[in-house]
Amino acid sequence: MDQNGLLRLGIFATILAVMALWEAVAPYRPREAVRRPVRWLTNFGLLLISAALTRFTVGAAMIATAIWAGQNGLGVFNLVGVPPFLAGLIAIVVLDCAVYWQHRLTHIVPLFWRFHRVHHCDVEFDVSTAVRFHPVEIIASAGYKSFFVLLIGADPWAVVVYESMLSGFALFNHGNVHFPAPFDRLLRTLIVTPDMHRVHHSSEITETNSNYGNILSVWDRLFVSYIDHTKTNDHDMQIGLDEFRDTKSQSLLGVLWLPFRQP
């Protein structure tokens, strides 16, 4: 593993440990202890499978694309000659907007939803939910983001920063934690908070199809997909998808097969 990979792994592991400790000390929603071992096996099992597959397929695709674009003078920033620091900041914002639309499309396009529903069929909401993605979706996401890296000619350092932020915010946003309402309202004027993202994991379909943001909260307001709060108290609302609450849908083998079965 190269230095960039080690840096990202270190940041990921640190934030994961902090969020897991925070949830253990002050969980917002009650958790069913009987489900926890199975959920963790499923969620972190998906993470390990995805990591292994991407390592031998599209591992470091975004950074490799950024390096190749720079060497060949491809992409907007390389053609226009934007100052490196400004180009990096713009790249982070552009990539975050692109990932917002990627996320939204996984809810709109039936084929994409088949794979993305693996993430949404989790019946609880905590930091482990952040890594619950089907390996096919992870591979497709790497290709999608690499296209935008090439399009704008993002610098490799900006890609490393953005990917670190994306994974870190995913762990933060899926945390089973809670901020006092005034502080949460202040935070979500700029970034996505756990209380804001929790709405997205509601079983209510109108709430599931909202709050797609990953880092910056502006995209949901700008593209009219923002919901301030759930119809019911988000402390007690039902998490997950009604059609996939059975035991088979929660096992590691079950979620790997989930895109290929009917509800």
The pLDDT value given to residue 57: 67
In contact, 135 and 56? CB cutoff 8 Å: no
* CB-count exposure of residue 29 (10 Å: 0-12, 13-18, 19+): middle
Q: Read off the pLDDT of residues 122-137 as tens digits, 9 standing for 90 and up.
A: 999 999 999 999 999 9
Give whichever of 43-57, 193-207, 220-234, 239-253 has the largest mean pLDDT. Answer: 193-207
The span from the CA of 204 to the CA of 223, in Å, is 20
In contact, 143 and 61? CB cutoff 8 Å: yes
Average pLDDT over residues 48-53: 91
Tokens of 231: 């119809």
Q: Read off the pLDDT of residues 6-31 as tens digits, 9 standing for 90 and up.
A: 878 889 999 999 999 999 999 998 87
Q: Is the pLDDT of residue 232 over 70?
A: yes
Instruction: Give the bridge partners for 253, in sequence order.
Output: none
Look at 25-39, 61-75, 113-127, 172-186 and tell me which has the smallest mean pLDDT.
Answer: 25-39
Q: Which of 109, 108, 115, 145 is nearest to 132 (CA)?
A: 115
Tokens of 90: 């713009």
Query: pLDDT over 70 for what percent of the chain?
Result: 95
Q: Is the pLDDT of residue 34 over 50?
A: no
Q: Read off the pLDDT of residues 165-208 as tens digits, 9 standing for 90 and up.
A: 999 999 999 999 999 999 999 999 999 999 999 999 999 999 99
φ, ψ of residue 173 in degrees (nearest 5): -70, -25
Question: What is the CA 107 to chain-centroid distance, rounded?
Answer: 14
Q: Is the pLDDT of residue 1 over 60?
A: no
Q: Is the pLDDT of residue 33 over 60?
A: no
Q: Rounded mean pLDDT of the chain?
A: 92
Q: Is the pTM of this model over 0.95?
A: no
